[in-house]
């Protein structure tokens, strides 16, 4: 806590020090006050004030401990002793005891302490026959406690809100990091798989068909440049992958690998977040076919019935292995699709191979920031 905050916390109890005008006036201008009484009473009042301010600071800092209780007992003991010894002009010190109790004590102990302070105040003014003050000072004890409890509650709520804002900011940063890592995986996984495949093919063709090898290496260069541009867009936060673009890239990549491809005849007009999410599904499915499947053909189907879009990617490859867990790419896809209210499933196809299916509502209830990226 910085110096400015310390002064702000100290500012809460300072207005209540105005009530010390009455004991100070009695101390210096009251009748029959000997110098010894003035010294002892003045020292007691000084200690009372210093410890009271410390209790108040600890209460608003949330530093409740046994030492705080000890300091509060010093305040209560000194206040009661001075009030009983020196009379009604000092009974107002019990208002400070009420304020310190409301600021520092746990809720279950506040009102017993405040009522005890009001009772001492009532006893002092009654014992001296000052019935006109019988209700004013005890009532001030209660009203001060109510005011301080409300102030303390507001300070606590404000602190909780500040902590909640900080936690939300940390969560937003963590979520953005996860989104960025997921996007880079999807981008580079697809592009690097295509580059590796075409480079391997160009190496095999270099001796037997140099012209075809040069064509493949030109495709490698184009894929590398495209990957670089996409990574730059991802860093800038402006990249958007459409389903139609992903299907065109899938046709090029799979055909170049000698895999037969059957794509939808048309891509329906889809909401932006849904279109982007399906584009990522096509990309990840294409990457997995190139990496793992050993497939000879791939079929992509895309339908929408006005309420939801269904994308299915099926291959005739080896199918899912029984002892493998979903990779980070599919896990990221499931999170992306789930954020839009959809579902992603993957497993063995009806006729063998592997089938990846994404179902997305066309009107998601809410789209979290970054879900479509």
Residue 222 maps to a domain: no
Residue 344 maps to a domain: yes
Q: pLDDT at residue 135 above 60?
A: yes
Residue 233 maps to a domain: no
- The SS3 call for residue 161 is helix
> Hey, what's the torsion of the CAs at 123, 129, 131, 134, to 10 degrees?
-20
Under the banding of pLDDT at 50, 70 and 90, the label for residue 62 is: low
117 and 265, same structural domain? no
148 and 19, same structural domain? yes
Under the banding of pLDDT at 50, 70 and 90, the label for residue 213 is: confident
The DSSP call for residue 361 is: E
What predicted TM-score, i.e. pTM, was given to this entire model? 0.43
Count of the separate structural domains present in the chain = 2
User: pLDDT tens, 29-58?
Assistant: 766 777 888 889 889 889 988 888 888 777
* Domain interval for residue 147: 3-165
Domain boundary residue among 165, 184, 213?
165
273 and 155, same structural domain? no
Residue 101 maps to a domain: yes
Q: Where are the beta strands (DSSP E) in the chain?
A: 260-262, 297-304, 308-315, 343-348, 354-361
Residue 212 maps to a domain: no
User: pLDDT tens, 311-326?
Assistant: 999 998 887 765 445 5
CB 321 within 8 A of CB 315: no
Which range has the worst mean pLDDT, 22-36, 250-264, 300-314?
22-36
- Predicted local confidence at residue 311, as pLDDT: 93
132 and 261, same structural domain? no
Residue 63 maps to a domain: yes
Domain boundary residue among 121, 139, 165?
165
Q: Which helix (H) or strand (E) holds 345?
A: strand 343-348
- Predicted local confidence at residue 369, as pLDDT: 44
End-to-end CA distance of the chain: 40
- Predicted local confidence at residue 134, as pLDDT: 57
Residue 191 maps to a domain: no
> Hey, what's the torsion of the CAs at 107, 112, 113, 115, to 10 degrees?
130
- Predicted local confidence at residue 364, as pLDDT: 55
Report the share of the chain in percent with pLDDT over 70. 82
């Amino acid at each position: 806590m910085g110096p400015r905050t310390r002064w702000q916390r100290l500012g809460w109890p300072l207005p209540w020090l105005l009530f010390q005008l009455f004991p100070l006036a009695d101390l210096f201008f009251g009748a029959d006050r000997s110098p010894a009484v003035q010294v002892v009473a003045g020292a007691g009042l000084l200690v009372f004030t210093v410890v009271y301010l410390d209790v108040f600071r600890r209460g608003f800092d949330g530093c409740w401990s046994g030492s705080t209780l000890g300091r509060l007992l010093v305040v209560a003991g000194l206040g009661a002793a001075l009030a009983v010894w020196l009379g009604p002009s000092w009974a107002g010190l019990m208002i400070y005891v009420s304020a310190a109790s409301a600021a520092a004590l746990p809720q279950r102990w506040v009102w017993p302490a405040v009522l005890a302070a009001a009772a001492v105040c009532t006893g002092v003014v009654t014992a001296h026959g000052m019935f006109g003050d019988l209700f004013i000072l005890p009532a001030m004890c209660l009203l001060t406690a109510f005011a301080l409890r409300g102030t303390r509650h507001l300070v606590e709520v404000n602190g909780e809100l500040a902590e909640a804002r900080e936690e939300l900011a940390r969560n937003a940063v963590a979520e953005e990091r996860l989104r960025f890592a997921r996007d880079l995986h999807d981008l580079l996984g697809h592009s690097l798989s295509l580059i590796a495949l075409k480079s391997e093919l160009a190496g095999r063709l270099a001796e037997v068909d140099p012209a075809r090898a040069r064509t493949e290496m030109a495709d490698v260069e184009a894929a590398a440049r495209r990957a670089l541009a996409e990574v730059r867009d991802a860093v800038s936060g402006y990249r958007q992958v459409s389903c139609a673009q992903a299907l065109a890239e899938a046709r090029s990549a799979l055909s170049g690998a000698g895999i037969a491809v059957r794509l939808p005849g048309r891509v329906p007009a889809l909401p932006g977040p849904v279109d982007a999410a399906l584009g990522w599904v096509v990309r990840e499915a294409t990457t997995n076919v190139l990496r793992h499947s050993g497939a000879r053909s791939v079929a992509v189907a895309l339908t929408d019935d006005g309420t939801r879009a269904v994308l299915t990617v099926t291959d005739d490859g080896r199918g899912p292995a029984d002892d493998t867990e979903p990779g980070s790419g599919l896990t990221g896809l499931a999170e992306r699709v789930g954020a839009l209210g959809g579902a992603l499933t993957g497993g063995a196809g009806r006729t063998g191979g592997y089938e990846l299916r994404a179902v997305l509502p066309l009107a998601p209830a809410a789209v979290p920031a970054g879900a479509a990226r």
